[in-house]
Chains A and B, each alone.
Chain A
Amino acid sequence: MKPSPFEYHDPTSVNEALELLRRYGPEAKILAGGQSLIALLNFRLSAPAALIDLNRVAELSYLKHENGTLRFGSMLRQRAIEFSPLVLQRLPLLAEATRLVGHLPTRTRGTIGGSLAHADPAAEYPTVITALDGELVIRGSLGERVVRAHDFFQGVMSTALGPDEILVEVRLAEAPPDSGCAFEEFSRRHGDFAIAGVAAMVVVDGARCRMARLAAAGVGPIPMRLRAAEEILEREGLSERAINDAAASAAEIVEPAGDLHASADFRRHLTRVLTRRALARAADRARGK
């Protein structure tokens, strides 16, 4: 299983990369971590005329913390995020989700931007970004624009990125005080893509739930934001009954498809179970503070 031939470029700046994209148009593919793309190339399921390798664009690899926002350069490695004390402290949901992404060797190369641009609806990062209403900074021939998560993911493996655009930064608000989070996932084996997964963050205020954020992986064409379930919690709090109601609502919202690993009904059912479990853990953690 060897790739078809391609022209290869390893630019050292974003501008250079954009120029190359302009030149090749849809005939070029961006190579980030390569953990998905190179497998596709090896299978010859993808045979682009050119590969634009971003791994030498140093300016895209950073992590900044400004005004309550964490700003990730799109080429920042998942491994760096996994071991970042800043992320662990300020964005524990992302830290927890990262440990579920594949295996350490895939996280050595895999990037936050690559995972989001690949947009597998069963993947952890797109789900977390959706739950937390992240912002994606995109640069193209017409300049820079910021797209919110729910506009970014448009369909299975399909995003708002145009053929001449590169994802350059991901912005996530740091977790509020009095918040707790959890990522609950069900997969056949450790490290696999989720059959279903739920990312949850809640902010407690006495008995109330001031804010709830929920998104589900593997149960729709894109990561599914569970707004109706969030509203139940924001209205009713975090009692066992409210959590159960929210979980039931989550199961109604999602649009799972069946495949050889799991039926649609089972995925829908898991959404309910995992939502409940994630909320219970998140609430405990929030109260524990």
Chain B
Amino acid sequence: MAAQKWVGQSLKRTEDPALLTGCGAFVGDLPFSNLCHAAILRSPHAHARIRKVDTAQALRAPGVLGIVTGADAARLTGPFPVGVEAPVKYYCMAIDKVRYVGEPVAVVVARDRYLAEDALDLIEVEYEPLAAVVDPELALKSGAPLLHEAVGSNLACHRKLRYGDPERAFLEADVVIRARFRFPKYSSTPIETYGVIASYEPTTGVLSVWSNFMGPFVMHSLVARALNLAENRLRFVAAPDIGGSFGIKTGVYPYIALIGLAAMNTGVPVRWLEDRREHLLASSSGTDRVAYRELAARKDGTILAMRSRWIDNVGAYIRSPEPGCTFRPISNWVGPYRFENLEADASVVMTNKSLTGPNRGYGCGHLYFEMERMVDLLAEKLAMDPAEVRRRNFIQADEFPYRTPTGGLYDSGNYPGAFEKAIETARYDELRQEQVRARAQGRLFGIGLAVAVDPSVSNMGYITVALDPAVRSRPDYHPKSGALEAATVKVGPLGKVTVVMGSAPQGQGHRTVVAQVVADELAIAPDEITVIDDLDTFTRLWGVSSGTYSSRFAAVGTSAAALAARKLKDKLIDYASRLMEVPRESLNYSDGMVRTQSGEGRPLSLRELAGQAHWNPDSFPKGMEPSLEATAVFGFAESKAPDPQDRVNASNTYGFIAEVMAVEIDPETAAIKILRYVTVHDAGTIINPTIVRGQIYGGALHGLGGALYEELVYDDEGQLLTGSFMDYLVPTASEAPTIEIAHIESPSPFTTLGAKGLGEASSMTVAAVLANAVSDALKPLGIQIDELPITPSRLWHLMEASRGTAR
């Protein structure tokens, strides 16, 4: 283990000078010669049969080079594999039917985007509108409009999962709490939208695609199959800079197929830059969910069991990696609590809405909103302090690694310690006293708590729990698992260190962080290291789990880099022992030099070692590879496929979050003012504290957006009512709270440096802590928040109803 000089420091980012001076290289900035431009014709109907697509007039429009329609897609592409048994056929564009407003119906390729959009206006499509359904519970009722005839219902997937003995727990319980929750469909809406540049080379049969797709790279295989391309003829290149993703740019992959098809069909390189209207209409979002929860507890506050019935709305097609919305958090379905009995009845439903996928927090925002509201409801029922109820139920610090009933393996943590730190930092007792005073004055002052286990680094196998165990046990079924990352560290002829990785970052500062890690390992300065992070499937070591999503890089990326650096260090020592003609055991590496432990002889610097190695490779010992380059692939031991009892460790590192929020509600306008917001995070070893602070703030704003401002609202006909930033409200600097942040560090035993993922963080907890605070504030009125977003209008109506003055 290297001395920590750079890890733990808040180094300024090496990424910044270029970004600050307008020299970023986002996909829309990449120069190409002879580039043509695509515009997509999208369905105006939520549900309709396509009778005819007439492109004759559009083809004659100025600057148009070609148009691709569903007929081309049917002829030249296949559907994308889906992660469920239901035979849903999902193509890159609509073929005989449209199932959501915004679904691609045709692609025009023209000399510029303006001309392409002009041609869109000339395409004539004959639709036969069908009834639409957007509510997931209504979609399950008999007689509801049917989206996929071959499936026979709108149910994409249904699993009933049972762990422990929930029936007995409910029978033995002193108290049972029941509640229903609604969680909104919303999106992280990165400021840079999707972008794809596709170029097909007919002489080699290679389709090259530059885009801001960021993983998981299993989607490369899906696109290869859809386009009937051999996978080694399909090249994905991640743009050097990606303008934010938060999981949303996983949904770029169907557009890679669509624009790839357009490029192959028209014979010119094609660029498509999604505009904001398209992004809100047809990119990706989280699911809207209806949840029915039951909690069984003893009267001392001990939770015995939980039951959940979930109805998740994945939109018109169940697009991979769904139903991750439901199953991504399976391993931490118990959160930080030690109850052993739970049941989940999970329905994944398709309706005429846009498609879903990972959205910062990926299911954990839903999970903890429900769970932490239930815990507060329990506290209220038992007339206990909600802090005390939580204390009674925490997994204790000496129980790690902790196996959850659903198969999760919590690597490390100190939940009571972190929780007390949040309570102390927030001066919780003082807040309660202030509440007494405020209530006496008739003020609506509330305090909310929320705790969460923060899972990161997806085990790719988790999603297969959506399949029935009988399917998974078939002899022809191949289990899926794993979370890997690779790094190469090399020394050049003049002794300089370069690190090469391919992680497709979207602003997380990977190059800076990796330089810090390798600097410590090789005892050199970070600014002497060049870090290359470009994911090109032709030239980088990559796998199905590659990419930056699920907060994985801090855990796997830094581990891979550290391991590669250590491997290189070993090689340097081996090589030096040959040059110095002393046994390997008598040497060590420090301060960028290999020296004898006794101090005898001249130490060899990196530069000298490199000079010899490159210019005189004959100097390498026989049997040793003649290179000063080391590659490491990092993986986890406990990243396995689900077992037949549907237990799986869906993540590989588990952090912890404890939050306290104090709010006051204006009784006249129902405006919510956040008076204090404290968050304590445990993400193991922290590599760059300032970067961590930025992630916490960013995640909190995403959570706040879904809790108060953001919702993709559809009318009953499936028309999107929030189709622009005028109506889809992204919080601005004026709405952003100031957050008091504290940390504890419980290093993970499973990663090389003990770091865990943190990128999603408070996006999972803000809705919960805010809803608890608002419910607490409105206790005098008996209002419980069970639906988001909490808009002033909705809140005021609840307040009026309880005051008996509702109209």
Interface residues of A (CB under 8 A from B): 1-5, 43-44, 186, 188-192, 195, 260-263, 265-266, 269-270, 273
Contact = CB atoms under 8 A, between A and B. Distances in A.
A43 B281 CA distance: 13
B793 A263 contact: yes
B734 A273 contact: no
A190 B792 contact: no
B272 interface: no
B713 A260 contact: yes
Given A4-B118, A265-B807, A189 B722 contact: no
Contacts of A3: 114
B96 to A, nearest CB: 27
Interface string B225-265: 00000000000000000000000000000000000000000
Contact of A190 (B121, B709, B735, B797): B735
B735 A43 contact: no
Contacts of B796: 266, 269
A105 B95 CA distance: 44
Given A4-B121, A190-B734, A262 B729 contact: no
A266 B732 contact: no
A1 B791 CA distance: 30
Nearest to B277: A1
Tell me if A's interface is mostly helix, strand, loop or mixed: loop
A75 to B, nearest CB: 25
Contacts of B724: 43
14 contacts: A2-B114, A2-B117, A186-B669, A186-B792, A189-B709, A189-B734, A190-B735, A191-B734, A260-B713, A261-B791, A262-B793, A263-B797, A266-B797, A269-B796
Interface in B97-121: 113-114, 117-118, 121
A224 to B, nearest CB: 19
Given A188-B709, A273-B668, A273-B669, A261 B118 contact: no
A190 B732 CA distance: 8
Given A4-B118, A261-B793, A273-B668, A189 B731 contact: yes
B727 interface: yes
A266 B276 contact: no
A5 B63 CA distance: 14
Given A2-B114, A4-B121, A273-B669, A43 B277 contact: yes
- The range of chain B's interface size is 20 to 34
Contacts of A192: 729
Nearest to A268: B807
Interface in B264-286: 275-277
A195 to B, nearest CB: 8
B721 interface: yes
A152 B669 CA distance: 31
Nearest to B795: A266
Interface string B115-135: 001100100000000000000
Contacts of B277: 1, 43
Interface in B722-764: 722, 724, 727, 729, 731-732, 734-735
Contacts of A195: 792-793
Nearest to A188: B729
A1 B275 contact: yes
Nearest to A272: B668
B797 A265 contact: yes
Contacts of B117: 1-2, 44
Which one of A4, A266, A270 has the highest number of Cβ atoms from chain B below 10 Å of its Cβ? A266
Which one of A191, A195, A260, A262 has the highest number of Cβ atoms from chain B below 10 Å of its Cβ? A260
A188 B791 contact: yes
Contacts of B735: 189-190
A278 to B, nearest CB: 13
Contacts of B276: 1
A268 B275 CA distance: 36
Contacts of B807: 265
A270 B795 CA distance: 13
B756 to A, nearest CB: 34
A270 B669 contact: yes
Interface in B110-167: 113-114, 117-118, 121
Given A1-B117, A192-B729, 5 more contacts: A1-B275, A44-B117, A189-B732, A195-B792, A263-B793
B731 A262 contact: no
B189 to A, nearest CB: 14
Contacts of B797: 263, 265-266
Nearest to A274: B669
B726 to A, nearest CB: 8
A35 B366 CA distance: 38
B732 A262 contact: no
B118 A260 contact: no
A44 B117 CA distance: 10
Interface string B708-724: 01000100000001101
A266 B792 contact: yes
Interface in B476-534: none
A4 B120 CA distance: 11
A15 to B, nearest CB: 32
Interface in B594-610: none
Contacts of B709: 188-189
Contacts of B113: 2
Nearest to B723: A43
A265 B793 CA distance: 9
Contacts of B793: 195, 261-263, 266
Nearest to B727: A260
Contacts of A263: 793, 797
Contacts of A188: 709, 729, 791-792
A195 B276 CA distance: 24
B729 A189 contact: yes
Contact of B722 (A44, A260, A265): A260
Contacts of B721: 260
A126 to B, nearest CB: 18
Contacts of A186: 669, 671, 792
A273 B792 CA distance: 14
A262 B795 CA distance: 10
